Structure 1
Amino acid sequence: MQTILGSGGAIGTPLAKELKAYTDKIRLVARKPVQVNGDDELMTADLTQSADVDRAVAGSEVVYLTVGLEYNIKIWRRDWPVIMQHVIDACLKHNARLVFLDNVYMYADTEIPHMTEHSTIAPPSKKGQVRAALHYTILQAIQQKGLQALIARSADFYGPAVKNGMLAITVEGEYKKGKKAYWQIDVNKVHTFTYTPDAAKGTAILGNTPDAFGQVWHLPTSAEKLTGKEFIEKVAAAMQVQPRYYILSRFMMGLMGLFIPIVREIKEMSYQYDRDYVFDSSKFEKRFNFKPTTYSAGIAARVRS
């Protein structure tokens, strides 16, 4: 049995499909789980409740924690530590291996121009501090309690069915409304995006590779170095619209954040757009001989979906 905690969404759904290559027993766990393969075991659970997590993990060989919480620092501070501890406790009790899907918020801002699995952890943001604490919680459980776990990190998402990714919201979403796209801070800086089908396939590979555990892995991501302007142009071309855009400055974020909660939440992460943002997945690519999807192919697939 392989179990996805926080099934559905940008990674949970394609991950469920990828796991069919490894097992015919897949359990999807969420507040409202939805069938993916047709024969998945569905289980309703609240991951902030230890009894629910214990029940969800019982009988599992591998557990994938892919849950996405509301993008709100208060909720992250309240729920993430609780969820992580429940999952670790349940995995230890039931002798299950844990795969945690993570982001890059915990890295120091000086590492953003070239992020690797060895980048310094010194987050400049409140959300990054939460993610760093989760990282250390897992490492401590590995070192002191014998937990079998790995951390799989991704850059910003894009791809089919991605609703909350920056490209989906600020570029494609705006063009669909007949509006100009927008980009944070500096459109001439390089930015990396991870294609969700690649991330799902990579997560499944890691979860089914015993010697991958005990490590941090960057999920497969194109090494192409495109600027924000080039991404806007590629999306516009795929959608057959003019590549019109404007820049969302920190000053504008401050004003908009007074009325729009999500803008207030993303402002502290804007440092990821005032410099090059390069996510290096060469460790994974070399280990598994994996070639990530190109941006042209990924954007075309996203627009068709």
Structure 2
Amino acid sequence: MKRAMVVGATGGTGAAITEELIRQGIETIAFGRSGQKLELLAKNLGNPAQLTLAVGDAFRPEDIAGASGDADVLFHCANVPYHEMTTRLLPLGEAIMAAAQKKGMKVVAVDGIYPYGKRQMDLVTEEHPLEPHTKKGKTRLAFTQMLFSKLWSEVDTMIVRLPDYYGPSANEASYLGSTLEAIAAGKPAIFIGNMHVPREYVYLPDAAKMIVELAKVDHCFSQSWNIPGAGTISGNRIVEIARKASGQRKPVISLGRAGLTLLGLFVPVMKEVVEMLYLTEEPLILSGEKVKAHIGSLVQTPFEEGIAATIRALQEKATRI
């Protein structure tokens, strides 16, 4: 990888991957639709010389191709609003792949675990059946199939799959990211799902390190990779750590099916979460053995350290706004 392009660079995963690329001294093009957000990203990274900002529409292949320069690896971190996933995810992916096809770039697509459907392994490997039973899971499976389509003959593609994530750059696309942001701000928070059931979360800076390492190895393309977190943790323990780090003790309300359905009457996107609640009831836990075998070791910041660092970073960001 000589030069990278991050599409969706100001989002949760995009910002973390951009930061890791810059940390490793890799020439990087940060692509997004908001010039203001891109400039803020650059400022937060210290305006590094090896970072180029490019404003454009990720649904327009010509915008991406025109901004890509001589980039050889494209990180697809762009996303669509949760409630628009079934209608807009595939057109977005097709536009990005069309740009990569035109320029002959490799593609690293960041995705989630929805295509696996219900858990069929104690530790989910990349060989787990792709048998989604939800509307969004089926859309994500179609997205996977599109990425590996023979239509893109000039593109070598890799999919990296993350569980729910958290970290300083996490946004509303992350269940836990929204919870921690509210706690850091000293506001009442919502926690999606049962707070007693331990679940897996990955710290975004850790995920970014592992993703970039995989992207630097040619033979890691043309396949999928599960990026694990640092084990499992209950919502109650997360809140305990976050409250201690923030010095705040505002209420944290757990929302299950009934609560999300009721809230969905006023906040439509919340209705869309209901069908995915199975992941909070019988969580999938990812195996990291394949990643470990190829990059040497897993990067796994303990939850106590990662959550506290996230709270501090969110509070520092709030003072700068």
Calculate the TM-score normalised by the size of structure 1: 0.88
Q: In the superposition, relative to structure 1, how do residues 291 and 235 fare at CA in structure 2: closer, same or farther (>3 Å)? A: same
2:315 equivalent to 1:301: no
Aligned residues of 1:4 and 1:65 also touching (Cα < 8 A): yes
Among candidates 226, 236, 254, match of residue 229 of structure 1: 236
2:283 equivalent to 1:276: yes
Q: In the superposition, relative to structure 1, how do residues 203 and 82 fare at CA in structure 2: closer, same or farther (>3 Å)? A: same
1:214 counterpart letter in structure 2: S
Q: How far has the Cα of 1:102 moved from its partner? A: 0.7
Query: After the TM superposition, which of the residue ranges 77-86 and 261-270 deviates more from structure 2?
Result: 77-86
Q: How far has the Cα of 1:58 moved from its partner? A: 4.8
Aligned to 1:31: 33
Question: Mapping of 1:22-101 within 5 angstroms?
Answer: 24-33=26-35, 34-35=38-39, 36=42, 37-39=47-49, 40-72=51-83, 75-101=84-110
Aligned residues of 1:116 and 1:279 also touching (Cα < 8 A): yes
Give me the whole-angstrom Cα distance separating, in 2, the residues matched to 1:266 and 1:78.
Answer: 16
Q: How many residues are matched?
A: 300
Q: How far has the Cα of 1:61 moved from its partner? A: 0.6
2:226 equivalent to 1:218: yes
* Secondary structure in structure 1 of the residue aligned to 2:128: coil
Give me the whole-angstrom Cα distance separating, in 2, the residues matched to 1:190 and 1:113.
Answer: 14
Q: How far has the Cα of 1:174 moved from its partner? A: 4.9
Q: In the superposition, relative to structure 1, how do residues 43 and 178 fare at CA in structure 2: closer, same or farther (>3 Å)? A: closer
Deviations 1:59-81 (CA, angstroms, capped at 9, x unpaired): 22111100121121xx3233221
Deviations 1:265-298 (CA, angstroms, capped at 9, x unpaired): 2111111111233222232133212331111110
Question: Mapping of 1:99-118 within 5 angstroms?
Answer: 99-111=108-120, 114-118=123-127
Q: In the superposition, relative to structure 1, how do residues 265 and 118 fare at CA in structure 2: closer, same or farther (>3 Å)? A: same
Q: How far has the Cα of 1:178 moved from its partner? A: 4.5
Among candidates 216, 223, 242, match of residue 208 of structure 1: 216
* Secondary structure in structure 2 of the residue aligned to 1:145: coil
Query: After the TM superposition, which of the residue ranges 290-299 and 276-285 deviates more from structure 2?
Result: 276-285
Deviations 1:148-206 (CA, angstroms, capped at 9, x unpaired): 11001111110113232322323551574443x44344222121111010111122112
Query: After the TM superposition, which of the residue ranges 276-285 and 145-154 deviates more from structure 2?
Result: 276-285
Give me the whole-angstrom Cα distance separating, in 2, the residues matched to 1:268 and 1:193.
Answer: 19
Q: In the superposition, relative to structure 1, how do residues 57 and 109 fare at CA in structure 2: closer, same or farther (>3 Å)? A: same
Among candidates 187, 199, 203, match of residue 195 of structure 2: 187
Q: In the superposition, relative to structure 1, how do residues 19 and 141 fare at CA in structure 2: closer, same or farther (>3 Å)? A: farther
Q: How far has the Cα of 1:243 moved from its partner? A: 8.5
Deviations 1:223-259 (CA, angstroms, capped at 9, x unpaired): 2x32222222222232334585443221222111111
* Secondary structure in structure 1 of the residue aligned to 2:31: strand
Give me the whole-angstrom Cα distance separating, in 1, the residues matched to 2:23 and 2:244.
Answer: 35
2:48 counterpart letter in structure 1: G
Aligned to 2:139: 130
2:300 equivalent to 1:292: yes
1:152 counterpart letter in structure 2: V
Q: Which runs of 5+ in 2 are unaligned?
A: 314-321
Aligned residues of 2:184 and 2:311 also touching (Cα < 8 A): no
Give me the whole-angstrom Cα distance separating, in 2, the residues matched to 1:107 and 1:218.
Answer: 11
Aligned residues of 1:221 and 1:280 also touching (Cα < 8 A): no
Give me the whole-angstrom Cα distance separating, in 1, the residues matched to 2:128 and 2:307.
Answer: 28
Aligned residues of 1:58 and 1:90 also touching (Cα < 8 A): no
Q: How far has the Cα of 1:220 moved from its partner? A: 4.4
Give me the whole-angstrom Cα distance separating, in 2, the residues matched to 1:215 and 1:14.
Answer: 22
* Secondary structure in structure 2 of the residue aligned to 1:90: helix
